[in-house]
Amino acid sequence: MNQMSKVTADGAQDAPAHRPRRRWSRRHGGIAVIALVVVLGGAWKLVDKPQAQAQAAQIATVGIAAPLQRAVTQWDDYVGRFAPSQTVEIRPRVSGAVTAIHFRDGDYVRQGQLLFTIDQRPFRAALAEARASVASARSALLLAQNDYARVQRLTGDEAVSGSEVDALRSRLQAAQAELAGAQARERSRALDVEFTQVRAPISGRVSDRRVDIGNLVSGAQGNGATLLTTVNKLDPIYFNFDASEALYLKSQRDKADGGLVEVRLQDEADYRHKGRLDFTDNGLDPRSGTIRIRAVFANPDNFLTPGMFGDARLSSGGRVQALLVPDAAVTTDQARKLVMTVDKQGKAQPVQVELGPVINGLRVIRSDLTPETKVVISDPELAMPGTPVKMQPGKIVAVNEGKSPPAVADPTTGGASFAAN
């Protein structure tokens, strides 16, 4: 009983001990609620800051400059191939054995230079026979002339009949014709002897020999004759290319600079070879819709070689004043080409433009910009349309000015270069 009462007594004593803990928990809960209210109130004040301060923190800094205004020469771009201004296949005009070759493969030869010699002995023998025939015909003519002259002196005395006189006259005429025929055969045999020496008909670079000494060659007419070698005339040299109908019409309407053409080779950065239009075909190819055009170039050092490809540009519009911006300042929105500008309120505004070629890292802008337009030339991706920007003045400068790298353009935009002052 005493134990139970003790337990009960202990339990009665423990109950008052728990009451202070409950009041302590309530006190902590109140403090937490007050702290939460304070935090929420501070957050609401932060959210409720003026929008101008938030916008000020988001303003982007971009470089701006007015478009560069320069005089440029407009070009149309083509791809073509060099070809010799003259090419000749060397073939013999008489048949026989080759006895000598007087050049090395790939040499530069002059007009009239000896290239091959064909065995002359049979032709010299034929020439000697023809000369003997000439001598015989000349002797027969002399005899006929003497006989006819003698008869003419006797016709006045009627000692010779008229028929005899006619016969002697006919004999004289036959002797004259025989001599003429013999002389013609003599000249023909002399030409055969001359043709045994095959000479270069033009100056140029000779190809490799197709026959060796001792080979028999044929002098048949046309392509039946044996091909000995070829000679290409390289100064001047032609540049052939095809132009589309659109570019042909454009060049015909512009008619500028007398058809100036510039070409660069595959390993060259600038257009250093200058030439002029030489020929335009008389019609467009109905299958491809293109027209064949040819330019001529001076080639005194024979550096330009037939078969080489080149990128050509043809002057199409003369000198014009153009506006240029850095090519990196042009952005693309699907099919539209845009340039980011800054308006009078200091806000970024995209402007759709028509592009021209690239010159020394600068893009020609053909429309919708003015010389006073403020163009974003650096970090255009930071300028959001309609938002204010912080402007930092800049300057547009051409890259490697003084050289003329290839103009990057599609066939309809063409190319351009800075005009010489």
DSSP per residue over 230-268, as a string? Answer: EEEEEEEEEEEEEEEHHHHHHHHHH--TTSEEEEE-TT-
For 154, the 3-state DSSP assignment is helix
Report the predicted TM-score, pTM, of the whole model to 2 decimal places.
Answer: 0.63
Residue 16 pLDDT: 45
pLDDT, averaged across the chain: 80
Kind of pairing, strands 330-333 and 336-342? antiparallel
Ramachandran area for residue 334 (φ above 0: left; ψ -120 to 50: alpha; else beta): left
Across 399-404, average pLDDT: 53
Lowest-confidence pick of 61-65, 174-178, 304-308, 318-322: 318-322
Residue 316 pLDDT: 66
H or E stretch at 296: strand 290-297
**CATH assignment of 68-81+234-418, among 3.40.50.1820, 2.40.30.170, 3.50.50.60, 3.80.30.20:** 2.40.30.170
Residue 398 pLDDT: 77
Which top CATH class is 90-231?
mainly beta
* DSSP secondary structure of 80-111: EEEEEEEEEEE--SS-EEEEEE-S-TT-EE-T
Across 212-239, average pLDDT: 91
Query: What residue spans define the domains of the chain?
Result: 1-34, 68-81+234-418, 90-231
Q: What is the pLDDT of residues 240-276, one digit of tens each?
A: 999 888 877 776 766 555 578 889 998 888 888 999 8
CB atoms within 10 A of CB 153: 10
